[in-house]
Amino acid sequence: MQKRTKPASMSPVKITWLGHSAFRFDTPTGKVVLLDPWLENPMAPQSAQEISRVDLILVSHGHADHVGNTVEIAKRTGARVIAIHELALFFQNAGVVHAGGMNKSGTTSADGITVTMVEASHSSGIESGHDIFPGADPAGFVITFENGVTVYHAGDTGVFSDMKLIAELYKPDVAILPIGGLYTMGPREAAKACALLKPLTIIGMHYGTFPPLAGTPEELKKFLPPNQRKKVKILQPGIPANLP
């Protein structure tokens, strides 16, 4: 297993949860990165609607609660959009100029940020209005920022044994995992994912948006061994925090 490299002496990565699976990252060199920017979700803070600058958008899969406001934001800000190949074509056809595709196990770079696409266990399809188009397999992302901090955003997924490979190959400092249940894994399964990934920091997502997404970070802690419980970082929508 590769060793974690000590982050360079730079400003920390700042993370802001925007509700559901949407996150904003402010990077050490001043870039703004959005992930799964559904900024109209019931938990989104007012500040989510006021984001004026975006450099990079990552979209994990084609479901509407993850594509969210990607097209509008990309057109307004000129942000680069990265998604699995078929979903990137969808964005291009929707008028997103800087949409680029990739696929699982592939790696790309954007202004000093390294993005690797990894597996996710979930359903797929691209939602457009009332229509659903095939393609756009679900994915997760491993993101290494300019200061060396590596974040794994799992996308919508259940736990799967190859998370151990993600740990061995990329050694994420931070694991952002769905915990709501019903449509993704819940706290029990997420705890198993943490055992496979062994991150320094654990962040829950995809919970509390609607009543069926009933898992909580507190419940996740109950399934974790004592030495991992303190690693759970509970974010409040709209309030930035430093990583890790």
Give CA–CA dist 178/216, Å, rounded.
10
pLDDT the model gives residue 133: 83
In sequence order, which residues have a C-beta less than 8 Å from that of residue 59 and are 6 or more positions away?
35, 36, 37, 66, 67, 70, 81, 82, 83, 87, 91
Give CA–CA dist 1/86, Å, rounded.
33
Set out the domains of the chain in order of their start, with CATH numbers.
13-236 (3.60.15.10)
- Assess contact for 197 and 163: CB atoms under 8 A: yes
- Assess contact for 81 and 59: CB atoms under 8 A: yes
| Helical (H) or strand (E) element with 202 | strand 201-205
pLDDT the model gives residue 1: 42
Length of the chain: 244
pLDDT the model gives residue 2: 46
pLDDT the model gives residue 5: 53
pLDDT the model gives residue 231: 98
pTM, 2 dp: 0.95
- Tally of CB atoms within 10 A around 25: 24
- Which of helix, strand or coil describes residue 226? helix
Q: Dihedrals φ, ψ of 113, to 5°?
A: -105, 130
Per-residue pLDDT tens digits of the chain, which is 244 residues long? 444 555 557 899 999 999 999 999 999 999 999 999 999 999 999 999 899 999 999 999 999 999 999 999 999 999 999 999 999 999 999 999 999 999 999 999 998 999 999 999 999 888 887 888 887 899 999 999 999 999 999 999 999 999 999 999 999 999 999 999 999 999 999 999 999 999 999 999 999 999 999 999 999 999 999 999 999 999 999 999 999 8
Residue type, 189: E
